């Protein structure tokens, strides 16, 4: 529910005061331009295995195809909000699409594998902007066996931690359709990523921030 206008104005004023207090002045105009930041570009995603408690996240490879087709087959609803592809009529059609995903550098796709060595889902790091240190997680296809499970949530955590702590990104996005997030979200905990925000991009050696919307 949206906040009443007076509270929204008060919140906006508070955020403005905080932003100014956490800013350095522009050398010519004196206007607040944010705190100085390290403008070193982030690294691009790469071939890595992210080990977790409930499974792991690893670079998508053709050897994952059979497990994933088995997990996806007969569940056409998981493709509804992925308008560019799916569902697939048979294993051959899926394999052709899968091969094209493995080869892409952006989105850079990962398989989510459980402790029994079964690949149950895909997630990708995409819209990769190393200079701005901004990256997005998307092209998420969870099988029913992965949805709303500890591994499903942990996989998102592992990817986010990798982006921030290893690759050096400052903003991690997940643009989730609001209808999808209420009907078939991979997990309840990770749906909140769609509403979270960090630094948007680097400008004049400082931050450009975009606060999350009022709820």
pLDDT tens per residue across span 86-112: 999 999 999 999 999 999 999 999 999
Per the model's pLDDT, the better-predicted residue between 196 and 72 turns out to be: 72
Peptide bond into 87 cis (omega under 30): yes
pLDDT digits (tens, 9 = 90+) for 33-54: 777 777 899 999 999 999 999 9
pTM, 2 dp: 0.76
Rounded CA gap, 185 and 172, in Å? 18
If DSSP codes are grouped into helix, strand and coil, which group holds residue 164?
A: helix
Residue bearing the bigger pLDDT, 69 or 184: 69
Is the separation of the CB atoms in 27 and 37 below 8 Å?
A: no
Tell me if residue 197 falls in helix, strand or coil. Answer: coil
For Cα atoms 38, 39, 43, give the angle at the middle one, nearest 5 degrees. 105
């Amino acid at each position: 529910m949206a906040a009443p206008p007076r509270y929204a104005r008060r919140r906006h004023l508070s955020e403005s005061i905080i932003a100014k207090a956490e800013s350095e002045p522009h050398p010519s105009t004196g206007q607040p331009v944010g705190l100085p930041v390290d403008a070193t570009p982030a690294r691009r995603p790469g071939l890595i295995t992210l080990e977790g408690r409930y499974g792991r996240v690893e670079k998508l490879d053709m050897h994952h195809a059979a497990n994933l087709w088995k997990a996806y087959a007969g569940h056409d609803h998981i493709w509804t909000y992925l308008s560019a592809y799916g569902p697939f009529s048979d294993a051959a059609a899926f394999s052709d699409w899968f091969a094209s995903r493995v080869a892409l550098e952006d989105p850079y796709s990962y398989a989510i594998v459980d402790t029994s060595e079964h690949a149950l889902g895909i997630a990708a790091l995409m819209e990769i902007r190393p200079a701005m240190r901004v990256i997005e997680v998307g092209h998420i296809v969870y099988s029913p066996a992965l949805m709303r499970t500890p591994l499903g949530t942990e996989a998102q955590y592992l990817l986010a931690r990798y982006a921030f702590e290893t690759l050096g990104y400052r903003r991690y996005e997940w643009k989730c359709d609001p209808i999808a997030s209420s009907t078939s979200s991979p997990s309840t905990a990770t749906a909140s990523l769609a509403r979270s925000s960090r630094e948007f991009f680097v400008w004049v050696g400082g931050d450009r921030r975009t606060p999350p919307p009022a709820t």
